[in-house]
Amino acid sequence: MEQHKGAVLIAAPVHPVLIEGLEQAGYSCNMHVDISQNEAPELIKNCVGVITSTRLQLNRQLIDAAPELAWIGRMGSGMEVINVAYAAERGIKCYGSPEGNSNAVAEHAVGMLLSLMRHISWSNNEIKAGIWMREENRGAELEGKTLGIIGFGHTGSSFARILSGFDLRILAYDKHPKQQIPGQVTLCDTGRIFEEADIVSFHVPLQADTVNYFNREFINAMHKPFILINTSRGTVVNTAHLYEGLISGKVKGACLDVFEHEPISASPQHLKTMIDAMLLMPNVIATPHIAGYSHEALYKMSAVLLNKVIGTGL
């Protein structure tokens, strides 16, 4: 084992590969997976590193509570739980691991979409209730449809890769495209997605310009009734406006893995009432923020973070 490098606070579920790798590199790992924000300042104060997911907000106050902090690792995608700018001022390195769960999110989005379009989940529940309805559950195929992907980073590009085996057109918009654009994907502006898309899938980070990105104006700009998929962040979609769109029929269906308030029971009553109504609709399928929550993703995210931390020599 290398010379001791200091303590690391593990404030998220991780695969043993990360703990073992950090310890072999000379760190000691303090496990506090169920940590609260109030407990964090005391537990982080002597740490040189921290691994977090969505449980902790690494804000200015918490960063200041750890004068020896050298790096922060984020299990998953989206760095909104970390004050990255302030960390940079302090010389603290910040690492994400979107490569680790991008395939899991993409597979989940495809599964939700197929389940919705072919009435798999809904008819399964009917069958279990002793109801046999064929004509009412006649589905639609992906073949010939146009998909609009908004956000073509790790998860958006993984989603396109998996769907490339289906005979559909794939349009993609990204404000700052970094991924290589494969031949089956057409990079375009949102105007073309508004005009042509039958399905719109969000794969954007949570930041100021993506809060309420999907709203009444977005719905009205769409030329055709369409299906919405959101596996990014709950506040990207305005729940009340989505509900309006479903009621009007402009939104043909919705696949939702994330919500404005999680769990749904924590929602303000007016939003919870709308969500409860949506969940009773046969054209809405919902899951409890598990798109990136596969067994394989836990390993891959842990391995990615380990490689990033150890690879920098920290």
- Per-residue pLDDT, 1: 47
Annotation marks residue 289 as catalytic: yes
Catalytic residue list contains 233: yes
Full-model pTM? 0.94
Assess whether pLDDT exceeds 60 at residue 314: no
45 pLDDT band, cuts 50/70/90, is very high
Kindly list the distances between the CA atom of residue 116 and the CA atoms of 169, 172, 297, in Å, as whole numbers in the listed order.
Answer: 19, 22, 24
Find the catalytic residue in 233, 244, 261, 296: 233
DSSP 8-state assignment for residue 51: E
Cβ neighbours of residue 96 closer than 8 Å, sequence gap 6 or more: 74, 76, 77, 78, 79
Q: Is 243 helix (H, G, I), strand (E, B) or coil?
A: helix
Short-list 175, 229, 169, CA closest to 205: 175
Q: What is the pLDDT of residues 83-112, one digit of tens each?
A: 999 999 999 999 999 999 999 999 999 999
Q: In this structure, which amino acid lies at residue 186?
A: T
CA nearest neighbour of 253 among 299, 213, 200, 300 = 200
Mean pLDDT of the region 144-154: 97
Alpha-carbon gap, residue 226 to 254, rounded angstroms: 9
Residue 242 pLDDT > 70, yes or no?
yes
**The predicted structure's pLDDT at residue 107:** 98
Rounded mean pLDDT of 184-201? 97
Q: Per-residue pLDDT for 303 more than 70? A: yes
Q: How far apart are CA 204 and CA 141, in angstroms?
A: 26
What confidence category does residue 260 fall into, taking pLDDT thresholds of 50, 70 and 90?
A: very high
> Could you identify the residue written with the tokens 């979409």?
113
Q: Domains in the chain, ordered, with CATH?
A: 6-96 (3.40.50.720), 100-286 (3.40.50.720)
pLDDT at residue 19 is higher than 90: yes
In this predicted model, what pLDDT tens digit does every residue of 126-137 receive, in sequence order? 999 999 999 999
How far apart, in whole angstroms, are the C-alpha atoms of residue 250 and residue 246? 6
Over range 148-169, report the average pLDDT.
96
Cα 35 from Cα 279, distance rounded (Å): 32
What percent of the chain has a predicted confidence (pLDDT) above 70?
Answer: 98
The arithmetic mean of pLDDT across residues 277-306, rounded, is 97
- For residues 173 and 9, what is the distance between their CA atoms, to the nearest angstrom? 37
Pairing status of strand 284-286 against strand 251-256: parallel
Residues 242-257: what's their mean pLDDT?
Answer: 98
Out of 60, 90, 118, 289, pick the active-site residue.
Answer: 289
Q: What is the mean pLDDT of residues 292-301?
A: 96
Determine which one of 262, 270, 295, 296 is catalytic: 262
Residue 183: predicted pLDDT: 87
DSSP-based three-state secondary structure for 63: helix
156 closest CA partner among 226, 229, 223, 94: 229
User: Per-residue pLDDT averaged across 138-152, rounded?
Assistant: 97
